[in-house]
Amino acid sequence: MQKVKFIDLGIIDYKKAWSFQEKLFQEIIDVKRANRKLNSSSAPINKTESKLIFCEHPHVFTLGKSGQQKHLLINEEQLNLKGAKFYKINRGGDITYHGPGQLVGYPIFDLDNFFTDIHKYLRYLEESVILTIKEYGLYGGRIKGSTGVWLDWDNPRARKICALGVRSSRWVTMHGFAFNVNTDLDYFSNIIPCGISDKTVTSIEKELGGRIPIQEVQKKMKHHLSNLFEMELI
């Protein structure tokens, strides 16, 4: 069973968390590059160390490399009035929102130690959310061609409760999921979330009509991620 270090960053500025991700990501890449050189010698191969980061962010909109800036519906002055920031980043996907009450997960995983299948990786992240919300009596599913977790995914009332956007290189992952727990959903009206204009977003709080302690949701997510990826969080 893989041992993975769990890191809780609490509420942290998006740019600081991004830089921290990049540092951990690059450390694993550097080990793997060094190991390639060792393959032709008798020297022992160094192990890579995967990490799982949980955090929340102050109000921020992020645009993935395949997204369109026109999906941000407000200008810089309006961003400032809302106390929000905007970043173009190096994950896949379009535009999304992060803010207080949203559980953000950044797995910095070396998939060589799990399985080398990025689609399976994404499905496991989705499944961990589906299993977590099921504990609250909510039933999530997937929409073909739209990564993430949805409620009422098979009818016109479909609404997204968790968005995914990842980057991978040499089977090392970064970025991850944004799971709406007690999120202020009004901020999503300032964007076309994930470039999808005909569906809405939701949260556990909205669906249940009351706030849920985010630490409680974190605990459930850690449990389901550990089981799915057959890992031990340390």
Residue 105 is inside which H or E element, if any?
strand 102-108
Alpha carbons within 13 angstroms on the beta-carbon side of residue 192 total: 11
Residue closest to 26 by CA, chosen among 14, 18, 37, 15 = 18
State CA 198 to chain mean position distance.
22
Catalytic residue among 4, 194, 217, 221: 194
At residue 194, φ and ψ (nearest 5 deg) are 55, 20
b/e 205-231 (16+ beta carbons within 10 angstroms → b): bbbeeeebebeebbebbbebbbebbeb
Q: How far apart are CA 160 and CA 97, in angstroms?
A: 12
194 in catalytic set: yes
Question: How far lies 126's CA from each of 9, 23, 54, 216, 219, in Å?
Answer: 22, 25, 16, 18, 16
Whether the CB-CB separation of 109 and 50 falls below 8 Å is answered with yes
Q: Please give the positions annotated as active site.
A: 194
